[in-house]
């Protein structure tokens, strides 16, 4: 018997008030896989992430996670079910230290859960006492990425995680994602950087004007196919 998807998005439609951004979009993601959603700026990718995480409520359609219909569940309810989220904007608390950003949501305030990630991104532990607002844009993204990866979640949703990040650190992000996939976690990644997409994607979806216009499974010819359709 085929296992049920970790995440199923069916005919999802929504946006901001009367302005519809995402239209009848359907995607599915299995445990231990990464689904990368790409496309040009302004085509609805981040809106899709907000609809899936509960930051926005849909006009219609369905979001099913771990077999449970969470279409109209609040964001905190989805988080409790094991859905993690690193947004594109507002990724850190600027007035708090790096250490506080990493431990604020944990009762034990322990940094031990970040041991492997600190080894991969050593500039982060070097700046634990520094205010997060003084980090560069790329460093803030790495901080947000590490916080999301260290969570005990079944699904991690990353919105433009590589924005402003140096290529060598993007490669390390890909390594961390693939390790987590091997441990059975799923990823929904909103991303324009085709290097990351090529390195981690089991499936890729191309969005345009709020719709999914192309999907690709597997890594063979993935970058070439997406680049051709994006005209990069």
The total domain count for the chain is 1
State residue 217's pLDDT score: 86
For residue 125, being part of any structural domain is answered with yes
How large is the average pLDDT for residues 154-178?
97
pLDDT per position as a tens digit, 58-96: 999 999 999 999 999 999 999 999 999 999 988 899 999
For residue 62, being part of any structural domain is answered with no
* CA–CA distances in Å: residue 78 to residues 48, 56, 227: 15, 12, 34
Distance from C-alpha of 23 to C-alpha of 12, rounded to nearest angstrom: 6
* Weakest-pLDDT range from 3-7, 74-78, 155-159: 3-7
For residue 12, being part of any structural domain is answered with no
For residue 124, being part of any structural domain is answered with yes
232 pLDDT exceeds 70?
no
For residue 38, being part of any structural domain is answered with yes
* Weakest-pLDDT range from 104-118, 156-170, 211-225: 211-225
230 pLDDT exceeds 80?
no
CATH number at residue 87: 3.40.50.300
Residue-wise DSSP of 129-172: TSBGGGS-HHHHHHHHHHHHHHS--SEEEEESTTTT--HHHHHH
For residue 10, being part of any structural domain is answered with no
For residue 144, being part of any structural domain is answered with yes
Let me know: does 97 contact 131? Beta carbons within 8 Å: yes
182 pLDDT exceeds 60?
yes
For residue 176, being part of any structural domain is answered with yes
pLDDT per position as a tens digit, 106-140: 888 899 999 999 999 999 999 999 999 999 999 99
177 membership: H or E segment, kind and range: helix 167-182
State residue 88's pLDDT score: 92
State residue 133's pLDDT score: 95
Domain housing 127: 32-43+82-230
Q: Taking the alpha carbons of 160, 166, 167, 171 in that order, is the dihedral positive or negative?
A: negative
- What's the half-sphere exposure (Cβ side, CA atoms, 13 Å) at 185? 24
* Weakest-pLDDT range from 176-180, 205-209, 219-223: 219-223
């Amino acid at each position: 018997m085929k296992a049920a998807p970790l995440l199923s998005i069916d005919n999802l439609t929504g946006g901001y008030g009367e302005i519809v951004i995402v239209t009848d979009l359907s995607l599915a993601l299995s445990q231990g896989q990464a689904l990368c959603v790409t496309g040009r700026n302004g085509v609805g990718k981040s809106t899709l992430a907000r609809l899936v995480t509960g930051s926005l409520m849909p006009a219609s359609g369905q979001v099913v996670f771990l077999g449970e219909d969470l279409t109209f569940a609040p964001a905190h309810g989805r988080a409790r079910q094991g859905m993690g989220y690193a947004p594109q904007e507002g990724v850190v608390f600027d007035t708090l230290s790096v250490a506080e950003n990493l431990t604020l949501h944990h009762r034990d305030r322990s940094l031990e859960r970040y041991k492997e990630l600190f080894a991969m991104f050593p500039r982060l532990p070097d700046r634990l006492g520094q205010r997060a607002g003084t980090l560069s844009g790329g460093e803030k993204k790495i901080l947000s990425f590490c916080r999301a990866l260290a969570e005990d979640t079944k699904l991690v949703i990353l919105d433009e995680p590589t924005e402003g990040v140096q290529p060598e650190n993007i490669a390390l992000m890909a390594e961390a994602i693939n390790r987590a996939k091997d441990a059975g976690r799923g990823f929904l990644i909103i991303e324009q950087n085709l290097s990351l997409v090529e390195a981690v994607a089991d499936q890729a979806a191309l969005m345009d004007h709020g719709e999914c216009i192309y999907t690709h499974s597997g890594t063979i010819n993935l970058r070439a196919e997406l680049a051709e359709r994006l005209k990069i």
